[in-house]
Amino acid sequence: MSTLEEAKKAVVEEFSMYDEWLDKYEYLIELGKNLEPYPEEDKTEDKLIKGCQSRVWLDSRFEDGKIFFKADSDAIITKGIISLLIGVYSGRTPEEIAGDDFGFINEIGLKENLSPTRANGLVSMIEKIKELAKEKSAADVLTAEDAKALAPLYDNVVLALKQVYDPEIPVNVYDLGLIYELIINKKHEAFIKMTFTAPTCPMADEVLSEVKKSVSDVPGITACEVELTFDPPWDQSMLSDEARIDLGMD
């Protein structure tokens, strides 16, 4: 596999072969046609990239220290753009992706030759790819000694989460099993993936903000990112023993 720099250089050279942007758009369309098929069952709300005019789904897997992406879109140009991006970055380490400036996009003039809405979508795609890389990097770089040193901070974050309650059930979000993933990296940045008992929760935005604020306020935490997902859907098996007692289920 080529290096990241080689892959970016190849894209720049490929685009330089075309003098007209109409031809470059055709090239993007062809890239989209060659994109690996994306399973319909994986086209879920949590995989959609926010900020894109067209629907763009992006998923990733972490394997052997590298991130592999798959994606799809319901618009042909947008599908070509996301295909271009994952063609360069899929199969790279989280550190490579998170530390890259994506400057080759400016070199080929892509953003400047898109409509304002598509240009904003491009920025959203780049931000999402970097976000996923940052999350995986946080999970990968910790040694056993790091984890041991961070244990007290982790415990304090859990205590903070237990101060945030579901708006419809009198149990905190942690004991409800709404916290699917909690990662703290060497920089003491917290990454949280959480859900709700139902996708239609009317107070979702408020609870997400409260989770972020509560964790951010923990002494020692330098930043907090919260991601919402409904995969897998929440069910009662995720309740803690404490929650079951509080709800009279035991």
φ, ψ dihedrals at 246, nearest 5°: -60, -35
CA dihedral (152, 207, 227, 79) in degrees, to 10, reads -170
- Which residues lie below 8 Å from residue 196, measured CB to CB, with a gap of 6+? 166, 178, 204, 207, 228, 230, 234
CA dihedral (156, 158, 163, 164) in degrees, to 10, reads 140
- Which residues lie below 8 Å from residue 113, measured CB to CB, with a gap of 6+? 21, 24
HSE-up of residue 243 (Cα within 13 Å, Cβ side): 19
The residues carrying an active-site annotation are 52
